Amino acid sequence: MENTLLRKPGVYCIKNLVSGKEYVGSSAKNIHRRLGNHFTALKRGYHANRHLVNAFNKYGKDGFIAKCLIYCEPSDVLKYEQFWIDKKDSYNNGYNQRPIAKNNTGLKLTAETRRKIGNAGRGRKHTKRQNEKCLNWLRGAYVLLKQEEKYQ
């Protein structure tokens, strides 16, 4: 599939090739970017869907495939996402965590929810491996910045 086609709004699916379970999602702007965000978060282990993260860790990147189900107008993405969630039953037999397609754009968190989110990470100790991964990432970013400066 050509990348320019993926840079449109629509509904997509991430399928586990081993178990057959699927996650149905949508993007009102750019499916390509949204799928990239999913796979980056899965690789790094911070995706919000723990069930999907666990499966990704178990089966690896090669155990999953992403595909566009339908391209549509931004105003229609939730309607089509709901259609595909229902058709594939990805809430009961897949990775979707909500039975209803929903958009978080403009979601306002209460002060208490923000406080709980902030407190969740406080006092947490990172393992030596996590610290090394973070340092390596920072070193890599530093090297890239230095290379950019050299060519400017």
CATH of the domain at 42: 3.40.1440.10
Q: Average of pLDDT values for 32-60?
A: 91
Question: 17-21, 65-69, 92-96, 130-134: lowest mean pLDDT where?
Answer: 130-134
- Mean pLDDT, the chain, rounded, equals 84
Q: Average of pLDDT values for 100-113?
A: 78
- Residue 22: enclosing H or E segment and its boundaries? strand 22-27
Query: Residue 75 falls within a domain, yes or no?
Result: yes
Q: Give pTM, 2 decimals.
A: 0.68
105 pLDDT band, cuts 50/70/90, is low
Query: Residue 122 falls within a domain, yes or no?
Result: no
Question: 35-44, 61-70, 115-124, 141-150: lowest mean pLDDT where?
Answer: 141-150
Query: Residue 27 falls within a domain, yes or no?
Result: yes
The set of long-range contacts for 100-103, using a CB threshold of 8 Å and a minimum separation of 24, is 101/26, 102/78, 103/28, 103/78
Domain membership of residue 42 as a residue range: 3-105
- Residue 68: enclosing H or E segment and its boundaries? strand 64-71
Query: Residue 23 falls within a domain, yes or no?
Result: yes
Q: What confidence score (pLDDT) does residue 24 get? A: 97
Number of domains in the chain: 1
Query: Residue 148 falls within a domain, yes or no?
Result: no
Query: Residue 35 falls within a domain, yes or no?
Result: yes
pLDDT above 50: residue 1: no
Q: What confidence score (pLDDT) does residue 139 get? A: 72
Query: Residue 8 falls within a domain, yes or no?
Result: yes
Query: Residue 130 falls within a domain, yes or no?
Result: no
